[in-house]
Amino acid sequence: MTSDPRETIAACATAAGTGGVAIVRVSGPAALVIASAVTGVDAEAWGDRRLVRVAIVDRAGRRLDDGLAVAMRGPRSFTGEDVVELHVHGGAINVGIVMGAVVSAGARLAEPGEFTRRALEAGKVTVAEAEAMLAVVSAPSSRAWVLAQDQLGGALARVVTAQRAAAATVLAELEARVDFPEEGLAPADVGALGGELERLAAAAATLERSFATGRVLGDGVVVAVVGAVNAGKSALVNALVGAERVLVADEPGTTRDYVEVRTVWDGVAVTLVDTAGERAAVADVERRGIALGRARAARADLRLHVLGPGDSIPAEAGVAAAGGGELRVASKGDLGWVTPAGMLVTSAVTGQGIQELRRELIAFVGLADDAEAGSAVLLTERQRAAAELARRGFQAGAAGRLSGAPLELVAVDVRSAATALASLEGDEVGEDVLDQLFARFCIGK
């Protein structure tokens, strides 16, 4: 999608469904003309950023709805264009009728993220800020929201800007030595440049590693609960959630297919996947259910292996989770059986070990505390890839400088790293990347 600034676009900027107020947003060169047509009054006379009481009318002048309107003239608007918002009564039917009048007056329906795309093209927001906006509105938990707001407030930009400035200083020094080789480079300067490049490589590596936190908080944690039949998996899932969400029975094989249950612990979105109990199943449907559970467990962030009375500790972890980890716990601790030494003991009946297990599961994926709040944490794979390129470039430059490689080659590596940092901040990003980003936005944003 490449937004055409000659066209005026419109969309509902509020959530669909029944509500007291809905906002229809119009942006583009004909925004005020369209507002005049759908209100029957001269919108050019409206004061900037002042709410005006209006009636919404069709082309024949028939009243459709009552509401408020506000004009925000460019370039002092979010998109940099003339923008008009119509605040009308909510409800799908009413909003559809108002949108029909706006389109009939000359607007076209906006594509996903097109308002923010125009803001980007007008220099009102950066790519990183647009990514943060998307993270804010789609945050699945309070901690994910904190990280997104930190990025929107400039936490990542401040760190990357400082790194870019340091890289520019090093690059300027290298290029000066290339242009004026007669000046030479003292041994102390060689060490200083190598040390600065190593420091920049370490800083880029720190950013790269932060994506593990950003991904888990942004997407939530998926925990596959696995184990033998009657190990107490479903009862443990209910206890972890705090409500009966999965059927529990003494009959072996009650869970035939995996069941996903979503909850939030300590501000972190968690999806628990209760899988069918492992055994040599006879019925075809049970075998298929076990196979589906194994496949789902392989895509989880970690596996919670539940051991009940009489279960032996498996020598192998079984199917590895996507995150590569497995945590083992003993269930049915209220029965007084001899549990494996050193293993957390839980009971869905008495609540034993439930709070501790929640904390262990969060800690297992590296989210034991709120240390990430207020720090620069990468939120997207695009950002992680850019940080990786920056790290590699600085590492190559440091290695080359310390090994006595020609300064021209060192400068190439450092320039590549600096370009990656620029991309991380949102500069020099291709149209295909922008298309993928804004396709994930809602229509009215």
Alpha carbons within 13 angstroms on the beta-carbon side of residue 357 total: 28
- Contact present, 58 and 102 (Cβ < 8 Å): no
pLDDT of residue 177: 72
What's the count of helices (H) and strands (E) in the chain, helices before strands? 13, 12
pLDDT of residue 280: 72
pLDDT of residue 318: 44
Cβ-count burial 427-441 (b if 16+ within 10 Å, e if not): eebeeeebeebbeeb
pLDDT of residue 402: 78
Pick among 1.20.120.430, 2.40.50.140, 3.40.50.360, 1.10.150.110: CATH of 142-216+376-426: 1.20.120.430
Domain 221-300+302-364 has CATH 3.40.50.300: yes
- Contact present, 207 and 376 (Cβ < 8 Å): yes
For 44-97, the pLDDT digits (tens) are 999 999 999 999 999 999 999 999 999 999 999 999 999 999 999 999 999 999
pLDDT of residue 288: 80
pLDDT of residue 338: 87
For 418-439, the pLDDT digits (tens) are 999 998 887 766 566 566 666 6
pLDDT of residue 301: 86
Residue 98's identity, in one-letter code, is V
Q: Where are the domains of the chain?
A: 9-125, 142-216+376-426, 221-300+302-364
Q: What is the DSSP string of 361-385?
A: HHHHTT-SSSTTTTS----SHHHHH
The DSSP H or E segment spanning 55 is strand 52-57
pLDDT of residue 188: 45
Residue 337 burial class via C-beta count within 10 angstroms: exposed 0-12, middle 13-18, buried 19 and up: middle
pLDDT of residue 312: 78
Pick among 3.40.50.300, 3.30.1360.120, 2.40.170.20, 2.60.40.10: CATH of 9-125: 3.30.1360.120
DSSP E strand boundaries for 250-353: 259-265, 268-274, 302-307, 325-330, 344-345
C-alpha 319/C-alpha 299 separation (Å) is 10
Residue 432's identity, in one-letter code, is D
pLDDT of residue 335: 92
Residue 219 burial class via C-beta count within 10 angstroms: exposed 0-12, middle 13-18, buried 19 and up: middle
Q: Is 366 left (phi over 0), alpha (psi -120 to 50) or beta?
A: left
Q: Could you report the average pLDDT of every consecutive run of 10 residues in the chain (445 residues)?
A: 74 87 96 96 95 95 96 95 96 95 96 91 89 88 88 90 91 76 54 84 93 84 90 90 67 66 86 84 74 87 90 60 75 89 90 92 69 71 93 93 83 92 77 62 61
Q: What is the DSSP string of 88-102?
A: EE-SHHHHHHHHHHH
pLDDT of residue 311: 84
Residue 422's identity, in one-letter code, is A
Alpha carbons within 13 angstroms on the beta-carbon side of residue 70 total: 11
C-alpha 117/C-alpha 120 separation (Å) is 5
